[in-house]
Amino acid sequence: MKTVITYGTFDILHIGHINLLKRAKDLGDKLIVAVSSDAFNRGKHKSSLLNYENRKTVVEAICYVDMVIAENSWEQKIEDIQKYKVDTFVMGDDWEGEFDFLKEYCEVIYLPRTEGISTTEIKTDIS
């Protein structure tokens, strides 16, 4: 069984998120999604409209997702890869190269973003 993991805030869920999760799931048998906790977001000086529990529940309801865990720090990625026996780490290509250090633990793949949509753009449009 091949396990894939990805990370994100997943605030204001949109088609770009769904496309990423579907393509990530297509790379393996089990998809784990680490959703950024509220405390971790504050530490990154990033705000989300929805709290962690809300975002977690929404991501858990997506058919491509097999497990949701909390992302509490940048450093936990190696621990998660080892703990869950991850074969493939996936992120959007806006993070290209940022997680190449994980290649000693698993395959690292950067998937193209869905053009024309982002959470940042949505937040800008509604403010």
The residue annotated as part of the active site, out of 2, 22, 44, 85, is: 44
Contact 112, 87 (CB under 8 A): no
The residue annotated as part of the active site, out of 46, 83, 85, 103, is: 46
Q: Let me know if 25 is a catalytic residue.
A: no
d(CA 37, CA 127): 23
Helix (H, G, I), strand (E, B) or coil at 3: strand
Contact 92, 68 (CB under 8 A): no
Q: How many CB atoms lie within 10 A of CB 14?
A: 15
Q: Let me know if 46 is a catalytic residue.
A: yes
d(CA 61, CA 119): 19
What is the set of active-site residues? Answer: 44, 46
